[in-house]
Amino acid sequence: MHMRTRARGRSDVNVAAGLAEGASNGRLSIWSRPMGLLENKRILVTGVLTDSSLAFAVAKLAQEQGAEVVLSGAGRGLSLTRRTARKLPNEPQVIEIDVTNTAHLEHAALELSERWGRLDGLLHAIGFAPESCLGGDIFRAGWNDVSVALEVSAYSLKALVGAFRPHLAAAGGASVVGLDFDARVAWPAYDWMGVAKAAMESLSRYLARDLGHDKVRVNLVAAGPVRTIAAKSISGFSSFEDTWATRAPLGWDVNDSQAVARACVALLSDWFPMTTGEIVHVDGGVHALGA
């Protein structure tokens, strides 16, 4: 599949489709090329902080597959998100969304109404837990810190989807994808982030239940460990790296987010039309093993 290097509008898409038609009639043109998986899709990507962010890999691949992308960033990281946006094939607009800030969500919804009207895809790539919530002692954090971890890392999926619900419904087949870390088991050091991910897994099923009649799908990608800013802040992250190095049937590269990005883009596309409330494991197969 050819990679695209610049954004095209709807008319260009039609031109490409027409040329492809010509090609199928035997009149192959040097201008014809296969359509991207996300051609004509409008997608909001949260969680791009640096070019190591999982969301950066998703935004890049989404653009290469034909999507129009808007990024969101938050707080002190917002200027970093804007700088990182310039590294994408087409520099996207960056809007401010701290998921704990209702005014940001309302304002962002208004902005997207004016810009696009509908939203075909939404990537939730947001996680945060105060330091006391991580590190290998589940008793250390009190409710104040735990509530922050749960709000930012789990409840935020409902907050985001709720804010853009009319835009998602207007698409008539939209896809919400969230990034997960397998929460069926207890991991070293992951502590309250693990609890937050378990909440997010459950929440994704309830969102799938309540949005199905609007043809909005809600799925998660449970990724293996990838070295990002968030990952590096987990003391004990190296134990994940060791686990994946020895246990992944397919092998695993902690510096490669391509497999995760491809799964997200596939779920954002029209190629999973009857899949919702699902967790797709992109972890080299580690989740499938007992010991």
Among residues 34 and 75, whose Cβ is nearest to ligand NAP? Answer: 75
β-strands 68-73, 42-45 pairing: parallel
Nearest distance in Å: CB 193, ligand NAP: 7
Is residue 197 flagged as an active site residue? yes
Site for ligand NAP in 143-162 (CB under 6 A): 152
Nearest distance in Å: CB 209, ligand NAP: 22
Distance CA 157, CA 3 (A): 30
Query: Is 9 a binder of ligand NAP (CB under 6 A)?
Result: no
3-state secondary structure of 178: strand
Positive or negative, the Cα torsion across 119, 120, 125, 128? Answer: positive
Query: Is 230 a binder of ligand NAP (CB under 6 A)?
Result: yes
Query: Is 223 a binder of ligand NAP (CB under 6 A)?
Result: yes
Site string for ligand NAP, 52-81 (x = CB under 6 A): -xxx-----------------xxx-x----
Instruction: Specify whether the CB–CB gap between 49 and 257 falls below 8 A.
Output: no
Nearest distance in Å: CB 49, ligand NAP: 4
Query: Is 92 a binder of ligand NAP (CB under 6 A)?
Result: no
Size of the residue set binding ligand NAP (CB under 6 A) = 28
Is residue 232 flagged as an active site residue? no
DSSP-H helix ranges across 151-255: 156-163, 165-171, 191-211, 229-232, 237-247
Nearest distance in Å: CB 78, ligand NAP: 7
Angle between helix axes 143-150 and 191-211 (nearest 10 degrees) is: 40
Among residues 38 and 125, whose Cβ is nearest to ligand NAP? Answer: 125
**Rounded (5°) CA angle 72-54-222:** 115
Nearest distance in Å: CB 270, ligand NAP: 24
β-strands 93-96, 42-45 pairing: unpaired
In the set 41, 87, 197, 215, the catalytic residue is 197
Positive or negative, the Cα torsion across 161, 166, 167, 171? Answer: positive
CB nearest ligand NAP: which residue? Answer: 77
Query: Is 192 a binder of ligand NAP (CB under 6 A)?
Result: no
Tokens at residue 226, please? 């990838």
In the list 65, 128, 175, 276, the residue contacting ligand NAP (rule: CB under 6 A) is 128
Residue 103 parent element (H or E): helix 102-115
Query: Is 280 a binder of ligand NAP (CB under 6 A)?
Result: no
- Residue listed under structure tokens 């947001």: 126
Query: Is 36 a binder of ligand NAP (CB under 6 A)?
Result: no
Distance CA 23, CA 91 (A): 32
> Footprint of ligand NAP on this chain (CB under 6 A)?
47, 49, 53-55, 73-75, 77, 97-100, 125-128, 152, 179-181, 223, 225-226, 228-231
Q: Give the residue numbers marked as catalytic.
A: 190, 197
